[in-house]
A and B are shown apart, each in its own frame.
Chain A
């Protein structure tokens, strides 16, 4: 994957090969990035818009990509930032206040026509949506995406220790949520 990505980056920086290489990039990463975004913003339409924005940003900035991090890390960082900015914008527009951000997300989730999980999955999602934003992202990346802490640390630009602590707190809160149900 790393070698493939290196070749892909070289092709993306070559104007003649850029379009073809970009198609390969979209095919390779669209699903992983979509699910990452979807778990943050919940609504499918929002996730779709954000995924498009992410690829447009990548398209515009690939020439400036310095390769300090891997392509995978860079893409996930853009996707995470876009998703968090989107939620912040919603908060600023008073669609939902800072305090009841999770209520908004739970409502969005409850009315989502694109959910086909069982009762346990539904309850787990509701519990996850009660978590503070950062803990929620860390939990999603670790539990659902089974990402390594080192990868997460690069994407979220946080220490491995802090991520482990976040995941542990998230798990405890979800356990408590289920115990109280």
Chain B
């Protein structure tokens, strides 16, 4: 028997093309009300932007403090090289105090994650870890020739 004939015979044998399945009463009428949709992506994006807007001043403060502390480190290194111990201790103490108070203020204002990220950033300013070219630039702009030669 050809395929077409077989299919036609079948359709004659089972003319009622209904499954017999039913749904609870009012199912389709209430389906839409039961459908829980997540927030639209675009709106989520706007929310994230809003959050960023509020966080911006804190991020700015955190970045400024990180820069200040980096400058302070440079400053103390230079002072070290000048070998004025008394001044260095005094300045160091003052700077330490200032640094501690800045750090604690800074730590209360931002999240732990941001705080540790900023600390990591500062740790990276380690001359021993600097690439040779950067180290040469750093020494040229911050130390005298004799200091470099004497290895101070």
Contacts and interface: CB of A to CB of B under 8 A. Distances in A.
For the residues of A in contact with B, the DSSP-based class is helix
Q: Which of B6, B21, B27 has the most CB of A within 10 A?
A: B21
B23 A15 contact: no
Contacts, number: 92
A24 B110 CA distance: 46
6 contacts: A26-B35, A30-B28, A114-B23, A116-B21, A120-B14, A143-B11
Interface residues of B, number: 30
Nearest to A128: B19
Interface residues of A, number: 43
Contacts of B14: 120, 124, 143
A30 B31 contact: yes
Interface stretch (A52-60, A89-97, A99-107, A130-138): A52-60
B131 interface: no
B1 to A, nearest CB: 10
B7 A171 contact: yes
A114 B31 contact: no
Contacts of A112: 21
Given A117-B18, A125-B19, 16 more contacts: A30-B31, A30-B32, A38-B19, A52-B34, A59-B37, A63-B41, A114-B24, A116-B20, A116-B21, A117-B19, A144-B19, A146-B17, A168-B3, A168-B7, A171-B7, A178-B13
B31 A38 contact: no
A34 B38 contact: no
B43 to A, nearest CB: 7
